[in-house]
Structure 1
Amino acid sequence: MRNPTRATVLRGAALGALGLFAAGCSRHDSATGDAGDRSLTFQASWINDAEFTGYFVAIDEGYYAEEGLQLEYVSGGPSVIPESSLLSGAAHIALTSPDTTVSAITEQGAELVVVGTQYQRNPLGVVSLAASGIATPADLVGRTVAVPDVNRLAFEAMLTVNDIALDGVSVVPYAYDPTPLLNGEVDATLDFVTNVPFTLEQAGAAASSFLLYDAGYRIPNDTVVVTRELLEDRREDVVAWLRASRRGWEANLADPALYPPQFMDTWFEGTGRTLENELFFNQAQKPLVEDQAGIFALTPESIAATIESLALVGLTATEDMFDGSLLEDL
């Protein structure tokens, strides 16, 4: 099962590493490249699963090549810190989360900028058994919820936004194992709604869930981040990457059942996940990725909501940390 909070778990280590990179790097040869070089290295935020299907489609269908880009895809994992990959010059573009990016900028002076967001609505949410009747934040009053320590502030921020007293909900630690939920030891867990409901259903239990995002804690996820240096030197290449990636996601989400079977022996090989799980994930993420403003949309309204929500967990973000103008050129 994927750990939905890997970026935050690694935040302390990431900031230490970023401090070294931010202090010692001003220009990166691998980021700027030679004249005429249109190669890009893309750092994913986690291991290869359905979360990145749109990019796999764009690679296999030749969308990046059609833009004149030579793309190198690098999978993520529990030891990968996307911001460090960017600042060291190991990657040009990375998927990460706004909290770690803003922390790197404000606490370490990292020259990073968010240029798009894959998940318009963060997959992190409250998961329960349908029989519990939990459908809204108000339904959590008097209940016991298992919450990872690293997500405690986000969960409490959601309660605060909904005028729910923090002592009105019993919070216990969560080890990313839904067994206590299945056994009735807790009423709900905080986890990715794109995956855990599948695990519960495989155990014969109907699941229910709601997103922290929909409950007022409006933080996106898998934000597309680059260095300001790259944006200045190779803006058109970043736009081309966004355009090809959008095509890949549009093709994938047009029929979420089409591509996962094709990738089981290639992109998804070795994850230990079943085809049924990847199909569930791909379908579940469709409404989280799509947006009326287009895939990767980064609007003034969404930026303002992100800044406001980050403030609830003690992070001070500003508008200049985001740049949605590239999407106007797609």
Structure 2
Amino acid sequence: MLGTAACGGGAGSGGTTAFKVALGWITDVEFAGFFLAADRGYYRDEGLAVTFKGGGTNTPLPHVQLASGAVDLTVDPNMRQVLEVIGQGNDLVMLGAQFQTDPNGLLSLAKRPVRTAADLKGLRILSQQGTQPLLNGLYKANGLPPDFEFIPTGFDPGALVQGQGDAYNCFVTNQPIILEEQFGLKRGSGYEVVTYSELGCPAYANVICCKRSLVQEKRDQVVRFMRASARGWQDNAADPDAAAKLVIQKYGVDLGLNEKQQARQNQLQVPLTESTLTKANGILRMDPGVVESTMYTWLRLAGASSLPDPRHVIDTSILADVFKNGARL
């Protein structure tokens, strides 16, 4: 699905630069800050015409589209995959990260809550095929044998409620809402949720990437894109409900989304976009030192290989320019 997010005349008209951006999922509230930046004219004000291309299960992965030249930038959910693609010789750079805390986590019920690493022992984990390496890494990073039982499942946590497993590998911004709305459960009394980061396995997510050549050839325009995007994410943190309405009425109008669910999802994701680093230096920031010293440690345990030097593949200079006058725009 292609959604024209901002226009400043036609592509290339009047000095306008056109950027195509591939998203890692459908055009729902997950990408709230980008849509607010578009709707409020922040990209237009920067001389940009930005088109967002929604993703989904049958859409090529963002970094695949980027490598092929189909898009100019991506918002890629999986930092590990991006790093491995770079390590295999693709000259991509990461400019920032929407999620300071990866929304991957474990969902459990009150009768057998999973809150800490000590609760991982011997779990029956409901998860999607292909996530086994991440779960293995989660256990190994906590000094535990990977003695979990893997139970393949889909994207609905109903199987957890039915007792088919002890925990469900989830997005903490999504599946908990299903337990709240469909089963009437509440966190702390009916269910528990914990992020991988809280279990000692941190990562960034929804990383903003482009080819290194784009930065070399159009650095000023890339700075403008990141500045406008940062303004949108600042707005989203201040008023999460605004983006939910915008998605329902415009960007996700054909997706059959529920406004109440979208508002709740946005409320849950806002804290994940913030960190000590972003509060001090501006939103969307990434710290190459933390990636190397903390994130790489467990990603290797999860089977990641060919991980490149993060100081070479994370360009911190773009956001340094964006926030040269302080952490708020």
Per the shorter chain, which TM-score range? 0.7 to 0.9
More moved, 226-235 vs 95-104: 95-104
| Distance in 2 (alpha carbons) for counterparts of 1:141 and 1:64 | 48
Q: Give, in whole Å, the separation in 2 of the partners of 1:69 and 1:273.
A: 28
1:105-124 equivalences under 5 Å are 105-107=86-88, 109-124=89-104
- 2:198 aligns with 214
Counterpart position of 1:307: 296
CA drift at 1:60: 0.5
- What pairs with 1:175-324 in structure 2 (closer than 5 Å)? 175-202=154-181, 203-205=183-185, 206-292=190-276, 293=278, 294-304=282-292, 305-312=294-301, 313-317=303-307, 318-319=309-310, 320-324=312-316
SS of 1:298 mapped into structure 2: coil
* 2:82 aligned partner: 101
Separation in structure 1 between the aligned mates of residue 290 and residue 43 of structure 2, nearest angstrom? 27
Match for 1:162 among 142, 149, 167? 142
Distance 1:103 1:204, change over 3 A: same
Moved over 4 A (4+): 33-37
Residue 80 of structure 1 deviates from its aligned partner by 2.4
> How far does residue 323 in structure 1 lie from its aligned partner after superposition?
1.6
Deviation at 1:128, TM superposition (A): 1.0
Equivalence for 1:20: none
Which residue in 2 is equivalent to 1:61? 40
Identity percentage of aligned residues = 30
Q: Normalising by structure 1, report the TM-score.
A: 0.84
Which stretches in structure 1 are left out of the alignment for 5+ residues?
1-32
Q: CA deviation at 1:310?
A: 2.6
CA distance in 2 between partners of 1:133 and 1:100 (Å): 30
Determine if the alignment matches structure 1 residue 39 to structure 2 residue 25: no
Superposition CA RMSD, Å:
1.9
Instruction: Give aligned pairs, total.
Output: 296
Tell me the equivalent position of 1:11.
none
1:74 CA displacement: 1.7
| 2:151 alignment partner in structure 1 | 172
C-alpha distance in 1 between matches for 2:227 and 2:122: 47
| Structure 2: distance between partners of 1:111 and 1:143 | 40
Task: Please identify, of 295-304 and 278-287, the stretch whose mean Cα deviation from structure 2 is larger.
Answer: 295-304
Deviations 1:174-230 (A, max 9, x none): 222312211122111101010100101122233211111221222211111100110
Query: Could you tell which deviates more after superposition, 250-259 or 278-287?
Result: 250-259
Contact 1:114 1:223 in 2 (8 A): yes
Contact 2:230 2:284 in 1 (8 A): yes
Partner of 2:118: 138
Per the alignment, residue 14 of structure 1 pairs with none
Give the gaps of 5 or more residues in structure 2.
Answer: 1-11, 323-329
Which secondary structure state, in structure 1, belongs to the residue aligned with residue 33 of structure 2? helix
Between 233-242 and 144-153, report the one with greater CA deviation: 144-153
- Equivalent residue letter for 2:107: V
What is the Cα deviation at residue 246 of structure 1?
A: 0.7
Equivalent AA in structure 2 for residue 301 of structure 1: G
